[in-house]
Amino acid sequence: MIRFFDVDRVIPFMRYGKITTTISLATFFFAVWALWAKGLNLGVDFTGGTVMEIAYSQPAHLDKIRTALESAGLREVSVQNFGTSRDVLIRLPVSKTSTAAQTSNLVMDTLKAQSPDVTLKKVDFVGPQVGKELYDSGALALFVVAVGIMIYLALRFEWRFAIAGIIANAHDIVIILGLFAFFQWEFTLTVLAGVLAILGYSVNESVVVFDRIRENIRKMRKTSIPDIIDASITQTFSRTIITHLSTQIMVLAMLFFGGEALHNFALALTIGILFGIYSSVLVASPLLLMFGVKREHFLRDDKPKEGVTADGAQV
């Protein structure tokens, strides 16, 4: 394996295991509190409402558009660029006092009074029932992926490794959801797609580290388990930096240059990548020590039984 970031000495990660585990617990409980106290700010995809695509001949001024719509009585409106600076995406929740057609007409009348060059490109209506079905399907997808990862880890690793990996992955997802709840960032189908992507991304990092730990436990017979874990993480450190840095560069490009349509998706990926590194190294690995991983769990007993030779033949 090519190492662009060679580390000359073993980094003592496990020396700070209790501190990092405490920080992780505090962050996890904060995220759970945010989800319980504030809840997710669900977008129109999940709650239902009207989605309109409009176009201007000149770059649109989003603040002026938002102010005009709020003045017309459309309080919970979301206004963002879509594609170019001249294209605007407007999302409105379901109205109890007017139909979707009446709402879209009110929007266009308000915007035409402000700027006659505005044109309507597309209007979609998501009913409350459809939104609920999308929400239920999204929750089911998240559950199925999580269960699949649990089964995979349980089959591939010794149970202590499997449980540590499951907890680390749950840690990442809960923190992403908790931050979206705390800051009330809009949670849409694209954000859910980012969360599902992070589930797979995070488990991949955990598997790489766990594989190296398991391999070194068999090879480094005279080394303590904490030192083996430190050595294993240090050996995979170059790969971790290269992989995550390359991915993060792409995600940051979407975050800063992808427009509002991709902003929250890229934001979820950014949070997930950062905490994916943290959880694989400083959450999952210390948990192995807490669960009492020992060399004996991975070394086969090669001592022949009484009355049986080493090759299995009867005496």
DSSP string, 196-230: HHHHHHHHHHHHHHHHHHHHHHHH-TTS-HHHHHH
Tell me what percent of the residues of the chain surpass a pLDDT of 70: 90
Number of domains in the chain: 2
Instruction: Supply the range of the domain harboring residue 244.
Output: 13-40+131-297
With respect to residue 4, please indicate whether it lies within any of the assigned structural domains.
Answer: no
Residues 96, 170: one domain? no
Q: Tell the burial category of 191 from Cβ atoms under 10 Å away from its Cβ (0-12, 13-18, 19+).
A: buried
Q: What is the pLDDT of residue 7?
A: 59
pLDDT one-digit tens code per residue, 244-291: 888 899 999 998 887 777 889 999 999 998 888 888 888 888 888 888
Angle between helices 189-219 and 159-182 (to 10 degrees): 150
The strand pair at 49-55 and 84-93 is best described as: antiparallel
Q: What is the pLDDT of residue 311?
A: 47
Mean pLDDT of 18-30: 89
Give the HSE-up count for residue 193: Cα atoms under 13 Å, Cβ half-sphere.
9
Tell whether the model's pLDDT for residue 214 goes beyond 50: yes
Q: Which of 68, 100, 126 is the last residue of a domain?
A: 126
Q: Which residue from 24, 37, 34, 43 is spatially nearest to 170, judged by alpha carbons?
A: 24
Q: What is the pLDDT of residue 180?
A: 94
pLDDT one-digit tens code per residue, 287-314: 888 888 777 766 654 454 455 444 444 4
Q: What is the pLDDT of residue 269?
A: 92
Mean pLDDT of 15-41: 90
With respect to residue 6, please indicate whether it lies within any of the assigned structural domains.
Answer: no
Residues 70, 173: one domain? no
Q: Which of 126, 149, 164 is the last residue of a domain?
A: 126
CATH code, domain with 73: 3.30.70.3400
pLDDT one-digit tens code per residue, 115-145: 888 999 888 887 767 667 877 887 888 888 8
